[in-house]
Structure 1
Amino acid sequence: MAGKLRREFIELLEKDEEFRYTVAGYLGLSEILKELKNLREGQSKLWEEVRSFRERQEAKRVWNYVSTAFSELKSALGVTFEMRTAAYIELILYEMGYVGARVEKKCILHKDEILEIDLFSENPLVVGEVIALLKDAASASREVEKLLTRVRAVEEKYGLRPVLTVLSVATASKQAAEKLVEEAERHGFRLVLGKEIEEALQI
């Protein structure tokens, strides 16, 4: 009897698709298939997250590269403008009768603080600062104060007033330029803009 039932059961499994699925459901195959589907969906979601993470990492890497390159370019441009300004100030000194005067960067110790001076000559005494860009009046005022701090430090160190005090700016907004002109008149320093240097050196 058991053998006959077994044969009939197997025969139904082979011939009746609906019966086959019904039995599979009873055996828990439907649950297994459901779990497999969930697993596939979870795996797809995981791969999406991995892809998104990689894209974010790549974007971050590119941004870091661009930021570094921009900083290096900005620094290089600043150094170039500083060198051009030094050459221009040497030309001014030559016209003032100081033949062979050299203008260069210098650091001095003042009140336990090291001050870097962009433009310096000891004989004749010259003090100057170089700025690549000024966007507004507030930043212009800060740079003027920075220059005046260095002038005071040099005067204390050498016991002399500079024959020439310079603030050189490559690019300035209209607001910043107006503030610089006002401060130059008030404090008596020479304001030099990038265009003036280019014309003088014919660059």
Structure 2
Amino acid sequence: MSNTLSKEEKLRILKSIETDQEFRYSLLGALGLTEILNRLDTHAKNQENILAEIKKIWEEVKELKEGQNKLWEEVKELKATQNEILKEIAKLWQAVGDLRKDVNELKETTKNMQKTLERLTLTVEDESKEVIAYRIANELNEKINLERIFIDDEEINIYGVTDDLFVIGEATVRLGVSLIDELERKIDKIKKNRPDLIRKKMIKVIYFDIATPDSIELARKKGIWLLTIKGDITQRIIHETS
């Protein structure tokens, strides 16, 4: 018997290989190729898994890139905000510098004004001593030397004595109520702490350039002689101290 297949059988076998999967695998198994196919199937599945993982990684990379872009945008906005803050800080420091300059200029102006006021006050004080001494000498026939004294570190601008008269007062550019109260307090202090400076008769006097109306009224009530270079503002009164 011949083992050679006929042409029809060969065609039928080829047709079965193309169309019949079970036959095809059986034939491959008979030929020892099943394990190879299984490996190929496993490899194909592994490839699919790898491709799926790669796809997943690319998705994650895409999300990471989007997050990175968003982060850069936020950094950019933060940098812009920081630049604005730095500009505002620079403006603030400039304002502080200008303020310090203004304060220093104000201090210098105040210092100069104080010096001017001190010089003016000294001028008024010197002038007051000459005018008051002259008036007392010519009108009361009392020659008196007026000077500045200190009682417990407290200054009295005008003070002078004769045998039974003492003159006490202040010299100022601008007279207010507070200076009148201060003079009365100083007189009380002298009477209490320095009776050796007191005489039987007393003249209270304030020499000034300008004065408030209420200070003039109060001085009149207290019996204080107010005068300027032009003349008397209130009457001169000689007080008895004993």
- TM > 0.5 between the two? yes
**CA distance in 2: counterparts of 1:26 and 1:114, whole angstroms:** 78
Q: With CA pairs under 8 Å and 6+ residues apart, which has the higher RCO, 1 or 2? A: 1
Residue 170 of structure 2 aligns with which residue?
Answer: 129
In 2, the alpha carbon distance for the partners of 1:182 and 1:50 equals: 57
CA distance in 2, matches of 1:103, 1:154: 21
Q: 2:149 aligns with which of 106, 117, 121?
A: 106
5 Å-filtered alignment, 1:18-33, equals 26=69, 29-33=72-76
Match of 2:228 among 185, 193, 202: 193
**What SS class does the counterpart of residue 51 from structure 1 fall into?**
helix
TM-score of the aligned structures, taking structure 2 as reference length: 0.56
Deviations along 1:145-196, whole A, 9 cap, x unmatched?
Answer: 1353266369711452246432223321112212212221xxxx43223542
Root mean square deviation, CA, Å: 3.2
Q: Residues 191 and 32 from structure 1, CA distance in 2 versus in 1: closer, same or farther, beyond 3 angstroms?
A: closer
Structure 1 alignment gaps of length 5 or more: 1-21, 198-203
2:12 aligned residue: none
Give the one of 183, 199, 202 matched to 2:222.
183
Q: How many residues align?
A: 164
Matches within 5 A, 1:31-46: 31-46=74-89
**2:190–2:198 CA contact under 8 A, matched in 1:** no
**Secondary structure of 2:162's partner?**
coil
2:141 matched residue in structure 1:
97
SS in 2 for 1:160: coil
**Residue 90 of structure 2: aligned partner:** 47
Question: How far has the Cα of 1:83 moved from its partner?
Answer: 0.6
Partner residue, 1:81: 124
Letter of the 1:63 counterpart: L
Question: 1:157-168 maps to which residues of 2 (within 5 A)?
Answer: 157-158=196-197, 160-162=199-201, 164-168=203-207
**Corresponding residue number in structure 2 for 1:68:** 111
1:62 Cα deviation after fit: 2.0
Amino acid at match of 1:30: E
| Alignment partner, residue 169 of structure 1 | 208
Give 1:86 shift: 0.4
User: Alpha-carbon deviation of 1:105?
Assistant: 0.8
Change in Cα spacing, 1:88 to 1:27, as seen in structure 2 (3 Å) is closer
**How has the CA–CA distance of structure 1 residues 153 and 69 changed in structure 2, closer, same or farther, with 3 Å as cutoff?**
farther
**C-alpha contact 2:159 2:169 (8 A) present in aligned 1:** yes
Deviation at 1:58, TM superposition (A): 1.7
Cα gap change, 1:35 to 1:145, in 2 (>3 Å) = same
**1:190 partner letter:** W
Deviation at residue 115 of structure 1 after TM alignment: 4.0
Structure 2 CA distance for partners of 1:166 and 1:103, relative to 1, 3 Å: same
Any unmatched runs of 5+ in structure 2? 1-64, 233-242
SS at match of 1:128: strand
The amino acid of 1:193's aligned partner reads T
The Cα shift of 1:47 comes to 0.8
| Aligned residue type for 2:172 | I
Asked if structure 2 preserves the Cα contact closer than 8 Å seen for 1:117 and 1:150, the reply is no
